[in-house]
Amino acid sequence: MNELIRSNLLRRAWNIAGGVSIRIKVLGIVISVIIVLGVTVIYQIRDVLTTRLIDSLETQGVALAGSLADQVSNDVGLRLANSLVTVLQQEQAHYSSNSHNTRVAFLYIANDAGDVLAASGSAPAHHPETDAPEPIIAHDNTTIYFDGTVLEFVRPIRNTGWNLHVGLLSESISQTATDVTLRLLVVMLIMIAVGFAAAIFLTWILTRPVLDLVAATDAVAQGDFSRRVPRWADDEIGELATAFNGMTEALETAAQERAERDRLREQYISGVIVAQENERKRIARELHDSTGQSLTALLVGLQDLKQAQANGDGSGRIDRLRDVVSHVLDDVRGIAWRLRPSVLDDLGLPSALERLADQYQRQQNVTVDLVMRGLPPRLPPTLETAIYRIVQEGLTNIARYAQAQTVSVVIAQRDDTIRIIIEDDGVGFDPKQVAQSSKSLGLQGIRERAGLFGGTLEIDSTPGGGTSLFIAIPFQAEAQEELQTP
C-alpha cells in the first residue's frame, strides 16, 4: 500500500514537473539550489561562528576570573567586605565598557555553603556550589556553568575557602550571530536575484533555438520544406539545428524528386494513352486497308469461282484465291507480332531479341550489334517482357531521333544484376533539356519498366557524341530456381 502511494506521488510530481515549460523548470531549479545552498551555508556559518564566539568568551572569562581572584585574595583573607564591593564594582564597570568586547552581568564572592561576602551586579538566585546544574567545562582551576543567557565562571581564591563568581552575558554572541545571519540573508537574496536573471538569460538561450525548431517543425508538417533554422552555437543544440536543416534539405530534395517523378509519370501515362490510341488507329487502318480489302477480294473471288465452276474453268481462280489467303495470313501475323512476338513465349528472350534486331536492320537500314552473355535459358515471363520492351523502346527512340548508322545492344548478367547497354553513334542530345520535353516519353518508359523490378536507368549523351543507355535490373538466383521448379 505504501509503495503504491509512493508511486502515485512520484507520478503526480513527475506530471506536474512535465507540465510546465523549460523556462519554469530552469528557474525553479536555479532558485531552489540557491536557497538550499544559502540556507545550508548560513546555518553552518552561524553554528561555527557561535561556537567560536563562545570559545572566545570562555577564554576571556577564565582569564578574567583568574586575574580578579588573585587581585582580591588579600582583601578576602582580611574579610574587608566594603573594600571588596568597591573593587568588584570597579572591575565590573571596567570590563563592561566599550573598550572590551564583554558584558559583565555580576561579580560576587561566596563560599561553598552559599554565603556571599561581597557582590556587584545582579547575582543569580541559585548558587552553583549548592544547586547549579552540571558544569559545561572545567579547566585551569575554573569551573564554567551556562544557563542559556549567562556564562558563569567559578574560580577558587587561594588560601581563603572562598570562590570568585564572574558572570558574562552571552547576548553579544547572539547579536553578532544574528547580524551575520542577516547579512548572509541579504547576500542570499542578492544571489537569488542574480540567479533569477541568469536563469532567465539561460532559458532564453536554451529555449529560443528550441522554439525556432518547433516553429520550423510545424512549418515542415504543413509541407514547407524550405524552412531552415539558424545555428546559434557549436553545442548540442547547434548540432540539432544542423541535423534538422539537413533533414529538411533531404525532404525538400525528395519532394522535388517526387514531384518530378509524378510529372514524368503523368506525362508518360498521357503518352501511353496516346500511343495506345495511335496503335488502335494503325491496327484499324491496317485491318481496313490491307486485311479488309484482301478479304473483300476473297469474297469476290469465291463468287467468281462459283461461276467459273459452273462454266468448268476454276483452276486458275483457285490459285489466285490461295495467294489472297496467304497475304491475309501474313498481314494478321505481322499485326500479332507487333502486338506481342510469339517467339518470346515459345523460344525465350534471346531468340526474340535476335529476331527484333534482324527486323530492325532490314526496316531501318542500320547495323545492329546484339551481344548476350551470362543469361539463363529462361527468365521469369514478366522480366523477359520488360527487357524485350526496354530494348524495343530503345531501338524505336534511335530510329526516331538519333539518325544513327550503328547500334550496339549488350545484355549480360553478373553479380545478381542484369545489365543492359544500348549505344548508338547518332546525333546525341542534352539529357537535362530532353527531360523537360515530350521526347523523353520513351526514356521515361524505359525507366518505369526498369523501376518495376527495382532497376535504374543512367543516360550518357552529348550533342554530336552519340548516346548510351545503362540499365541495371536486380535479378536474384532464387527467381531463376523458382522459375525452373515444376
331 has pLDDT over 60: yes
For the chain, the average pLDDT equals 79
401 has pLDDT over 80: yes
Of 447, 423, 444, nearest in space to 435 by CA: 444
Region of 469 on the Ramachandran plot (φ > 0 left; ψ -120 to 50 alpha; else beta): beta
- One-character DSSP codes across 315-346: HHHHHHHHHHHHHHHHHHHHHHHHH--HHHHH
What is the mean pLDDT of the segment spanning 253-278? 73
- Cα distances (Å, whole numbers) of residue 471 to 166, 270, 326, 447: 111, 23, 41, 8
User: Which pLDDT value is given to residue 334?
Assistant: 65
Q: What gap in Å lies between CA 176 and CA 188, rounded to an integer?
A: 18
From first CA to last CA, the distance across the chain in angstroms is 68
Identify which has the larger pLDDT, 357 or 276: 357
153 has pLDDT over 80: yes
- Cα distances (Å, whole numbers) of residue 63 to 53, 99, 141, 142, 165: 15, 17, 11, 9, 13
The answer to whether the beta carbons of residues 404 and 466 sit under 8 Å apart is yes
User: Which pLDDT value is given to residue 486?
Assistant: 40
145 has pLDDT over 80: yes
Q: What gap in Å lies between CA 451 and CA 471, rounded to an integer?
A: 10
Question: For a pLDDT cut of 90, what percent of the chain falls above it?
Answer: 11
214 membership: H or E segment, kind and range: helix 171-221
Tens digits of per-residue pLDDT, 194-226?
888 888 887 787 777 777 878 888 888 887 877
Model confidence, pTM: 0.44
Q: What gap in Å lies between CA 315 and CA 230, rounded to an integer?
A: 95
User: Which pLDDT value is given to residue 87?
Assistant: 84
Give, as one character, the DSSP assignment of residue 100: S
Show contacts of 32-37: CB within 8 Å, 24+ apart: 34/188, 34/191, 34/192, 34/195, 35/188, 35/192
122-136, 300-314, 423-437: segment of lowest average pLDDT: 122-136
For 475, counting Cβ atoms within 10 Å of its Cβ (0-12 exposed, 13-18 middle, 19+ buried), the class is buried
- Cα distances (Å, whole numbers) of residue 7 to 2, 3, 13, 16, 374: 8, 6, 10, 14, 69
Q: What gap in Å lies between CA 26 and CA 196, rounded to an integer?
A: 9
- One-character DSSP codes across 402-424: I--SEEEEEEEEETTEEEEEEEE
Domains and CATH numbers, the chain: 21-178 (3.30.450), 346-486 (3.30.565.10)
21-25, 34-38, 210-214, 328-332: segment of lowest average pLDDT: 328-332
Q: What gap in Å lies between CA 196 and CA 191, rounded to an integer?
A: 8
Region of 404 on the Ramachandran plot (φ > 0 left; ψ -120 to 50 alpha; else beta): beta
Tens digits of per-residue pLDDT, 113-134?
778 888 888 777 665 555 555 5
Residues β-bridged to residue 473: 418
